[in-house]
Chains A and B, each alone.
Chain A
Amino acid sequence: MADHFSGPRILFDPASDVADVFAFPSPDRPGCLVLVLDVFPAAAPTALFSDAITYRFRVRPVARAAERAAFTVGDTEYGLDFTFAAPGQIPGSDEPVQIGTCTTPSGEQFLFQVGNETPTEAEGLRIFAGPRLDPFFIDLAGVLAADATQKLAFRPGADNVLEGMNVLSIVVEVDPEVVFGLDCGPLLGVVGETVTSGGRPVRLERMGRPEIKNVVLASKSHDPVNSDLEIRDLYNEGDAFAVRPDYAGAYRTRFNANLAFFDRLDGERVWPADDQGTHPLTELLLADFLVVDISQPFSEGSCFEIETALLAGRPHTTCGGRAPNDDIVDTLYTLLVNGVDGPRISDGVDHATRPATHEFPYLVAPNPNPPDLTAVMAALLAPPEPEEEAA
């Protein structure tokens, strides 16, 4: 799953668990950038944002590096911080009301109410925060089977493991010139984070590209150095724009080993390592941020297009970044297994429970009745079918 449950530590701190990050040019306000941060995977409708966490978007100008398949990152950073108060009651309502605050790079603050379907508007900003239907989709069983059998195991018509599930979403539409005072571009690097908001700030989770932690980095078994290290918690603490040299070696080793595993899944090698054993994608993916071109119009299916163009040595043609309806599992497996222009791999799941729209806040309303514990427990604890038992 994109970044859902990405490490043991956040399993007991779900409001800090980043599930997804999206960055794309606004389909209905040309020139604006849409940033989406989903947290609290598989949230029941009662879930709330933590009042002890800063939910943060970090945006930096990036550019194609001159002589290698990588991006250089600018020093200027534009941040948008979202914080939330503990819920309170308003007269005449039994429902708790949670108020959030958006702080812009200039220090201006805008208040909004969680769950309010009418977006909060300010100069250069539109804000929504609250429960939404999870836009991600994946055949998790196929991913797990590939991991276990070391062969591609996707099948047509597979089930989306996140069908009907909700997340807590922060959706903000930004006019970069107004809010960031942006005078560079057009390529921007985008990261979503959760950070402790009291005392010394501690980064709890970070996310740039989808499935880097859960698909690419999670498996320990191919790692020749740290075969017992759950690397994701460590990775989550790091700065996506400036990987600490102390840990870069461990990350590179894990990337090299696991990327080679994916390349082997169809029995053909398309990504030969260099003399040092470095996989051609390692440096690109280790710089773990979405890359979006805000000079391009919105388009779906463009996730990784800027990266693949870079790898192929050609100019990119789309906005890149990542839109909610992008079939990122297909795109990622195609890139890792079949290379830049290889035949497309499908995981058999092509859309979310309900696709995102092209109107703010883009993600659709939450499922009021997500799969509930009673039914799930009943299914889990049911005696096996006779034929299963016999098998």
Chain B
Amino acid sequence: MTGRPLRADQEPVTTDGALALVNLSAQIDGVAAPVRRAGSAAPRAVAQQAVLVDLLTLRGHLLGRIADYEQAAQLSEQMVWNAPDDSAALLARARTRATLHRFAEAMVDLDAAGRAGAGQATLDAERAAILQAVGCHAEAHGLLRSAAPHQTDFTMLSALAVLQAERGETAEAEHVFDEARTVYRGVSPFPLAQLDFRRGVMWLREGDLPTARSWFAVARRRVPGYAPATGHLAEVDLLLGAPETAVARLRPLVETSDDPEYAAHLALALRAAGRHQEAQLWRDRAAERYEELVTRHPEAYADHAADFWLMVGGDVDRGLQLALQTLVMRQTSRSYALVRRAREATEGLARDASGPRHPATSM
């Protein structure tokens, strides 16, 4: 393992992950009521609504529930409609737009929030996250540095660690990931699980599968229902030649998550395990859901859908079309890489000229 192993006596003690997830839902159900009763445009009511938006977004991430993202987005739109000059409402909408990869509109909201009096450090941190997502790492780094004195140590260090991970600076990132864990003072398991998950993603991108697996496992131990960590663990299992383990991990996930990524991964794992008929079922389910999501949220799901069609979906033309759509929306190195991969797949098929180029109905 490239990263250092964790010592049990140095592990921060946090609330049991399953318990915390139950409480997160209990909190979401509860917070909504005072939100309604205090009136919709009063500053403190807007602040409560913003909390609800953030809680829904958090649950959406942890459980892989796109419906939560959509509910948060809908609520933030309503907040801005009710209080168009309230910085908290504009910040909330910026965050939900960023979650759904509507980055340009999110930036517009942040500008408006700034004019409405939002703190510079908050704006810097939000803009940094967006710039990071679109691959402008140097600019993001500058903004993170200016926001740092106004943030908690954990928030600042975890943002920096993730940025360095994205830049491929793994040695530096490892150091900062460790530092962030050390300064964590809360009892919520979610921030730490998210941090460990991002550390796993870094090693997965680096191709160090055992290290990636260990961090995904750490994240999942802290929050057993953590969907992205479970999904990535299954991905690593598959890459390490353990398709049945991947299938076992993904089965519960496809029942609770409405993100087609897990159905697509399950189809891949089943195919690798030689269970083609079952694989076809999950491939079809993922295909249908991706088409829905590409229509509703193209900015967020076109690239994932392209990836799906290029792999288990089996329609490289559709994959290329969506990859190009992604490139039009975001000219990042990842978008270019996706288009390149789609073109190679299309050209490969043309060279072979040995199979149907149009929608694959068999796997």
Q: Which A residues have a C-beta under 8 Å from some C-beta of B?
A: 1, 5, 9, 11-16, 40-48, 50-53, 86-87, 96, 140-141, 144, 148, 159, 161-166, 196-199, 202, 204, 228, 370-373, 376-377, 379-381
Name the A residues within 8 Å of B187 (CB-CB). Answer: 13, 15-16, 50, 52-53, 196, 198, 204
A50-B33 contact given A43-B26, A44-B26, A140-B38, CB 8 Å threshold: no
Name the B residues within 8 Å of A11 (CB-CB). Answer: 51
- B205 lies within 8 A of chain A by Cβ: no
Contact with A along B84-119 (1 / 0, CB 8 A): 000000000000000000000000000000000001
Name the B residues within 8 Å of A140 (CB-CB). Answer: 34, 37-38, 44
List the one stretch of B11-19, B159-167, B251-259 in contact with chain A. B11-19
**Complex Cα gap A371–B34 (Å):** 9
User: B55: nearest residue on chain A (CB-CB)?
Assistant: A12
Name the A residues within 8 Å of B306 (CB-CB). Answer: none
Q: Do B75 and A376 have beta carbons less than 8 Å apart?
A: no
Name the B residues within 8 Å of A12 (CB-CB). Answer: 54-55, 58, 186, 188, 190
The listed residue with most B CB atoms (<10 A of its CB), out of A87, A140, A164, A373, is: A373
Q: Do A197 and B26 have beta carbons less than 8 Å apart?
A: no
Counting residue pairs across A and B whose Cβ atoms lie within 8 Å, the total is: 146
**Complex Cα gap A260–B120 (Å):** 30
- B333 lies within 8 A of chain A by Cβ: no
Name the B residues within 8 Å of A42 (CB-CB). Answer: 27, 30-31, 33-34
Q: Do B13 and A40 have beta carbons less than 8 Å apart?
A: no
Name the A residues within 8 Å of B14 (CB-CB). Answer: 52, 198
The listed residue (A43, A50, A159, A202) touching B30 by CB distance below 8 A is: A43
**Complex Cα gap A43–B190 (Å):** 19
Q: Do B37 and A40 have beta carbons less than 8 Å apart?
A: no
Name the A residues within 8 Å of B132 (CB-CB). Answer: none
- B48 lies within 8 A of chain A by Cβ: yes
- B296 lies within 8 A of chain A by Cβ: no
The listed residue with most B CB atoms (<10 A of its CB), out of A12, A45, A164, A204, is: A12
User: B191: nearest residue on chain A (CB-CB)?
Assistant: A12
User: A237: nearest residue on chain B (CB-CB)?
Assistant: B185
**A353 → B minimal CB distance (Å):** 12
Q: Do A165 and B30 have beta carbons less than 8 Å apart?
A: yes
**Complex Cα gap A248–B48 (Å):** 29
User: A86: nearest residue on chain B (CB-CB)?
Assistant: B16
- Of the four ranges (under 10, 10 to 19, 20 to 34, 35 or more), the interface on chain B belongs to 35 or more
Q: Do B23 and A47 have beta carbons less than 8 Å apart?
A: yes
User: B38: nearest residue on chain A (CB-CB)?
Assistant: A140
User: A164: nearest residue on chain B (CB-CB)?
Assistant: B33
Name the A residues within 8 Å of B29 (CB-CB). Answer: 44, 370, 372-373
Name the B residues within 8 Å of A15 (CB-CB). Answer: 15, 23, 187
Q: Do B39 and A141 have beta carbons less than 8 Å apart?
A: yes
User: B49: nearest residue on chain A (CB-CB)?
Assistant: A380
The listed residue (B26, B43, B58, B186) touching A40 by CB distance below 8 A is: B26
User: B54: nearest residue on chain A (CB-CB)?
Assistant: A12
**Complex Cα gap A12–B56 (Å):** 11
**B125 → A minimal CB distance (Å):** 14
**B226 → A minimal CB distance (Å):** 16
Q: Do B35 and A376 have beta carbons less than 8 Å apart?
A: yes
- 24 example contacts (A-B, Cβ-Cβ < 8 A) are as follows A11-B51, A40-B23, A41-B30, A42-B31, A42-B34, A44-B25, A44-B27, A50-B16, A50-B19, A52-B13, A52-B187, A86-B19, A140-B38, A144-B39, A144-B43, A161-B34, A161-B37, A199-B12, A228-B119, A371-B32, A372-B32, A373-B32, A379-B36, A381-B74
- B332 lies within 8 A of chain A by Cβ: no
**A361 → B minimal CB distance (Å):** 21
- B42 lies within 8 A of chain A by Cβ: yes
**Complex Cα gap A13–B210 (Å):** 32
**A242 → B minimal CB distance (Å):** 21
List 10 tightest A-B contacts by C-beta distance, closest first: A198-B13, A42-B30, A86-B16, A44-B26, A371-B33, A376-B32, A47-B26, A44-B29, A52-B187, A50-B15
**Complex Cα gap A65–B163 (Å):** 56
The listed residue (B13, B40, B119) touching A196 by CB distance below 8 A is: B13
User: B187: nearest residue on chain A (CB-CB)?
Assistant: A52
- B245 lies within 8 A of chain A by Cβ: no
Q: Do B30 and A44 have beta carbons less than 8 Å apart?
A: yes
User: A51: nearest residue on chain B (CB-CB)?
Assistant: B16
**B151 → A minimal CB distance (Å):** 12
The listed residue with most A CB atoms (<10 A of its CB), out of B30, B36, B75, is: B30
Name the B residues within 8 Å of A376 (CB-CB). Answer: 32-33, 35-36
- B83 lies within 8 A of chain A by Cβ: no
**A238 → B minimal CB distance (Å):** 15
**A110 → B minimal CB distance (Å):** 22
Name the A residues within 8 Å of B30 (CB-CB). Answer: 14, 40-44, 47, 165-166, 370
Q: Do A165 and B33 have beta carbons less than 8 Å apart?
A: yes
- B78 lies within 8 A of chain A by Cβ: yes
- B71 lies within 8 A of chain A by Cβ: yes
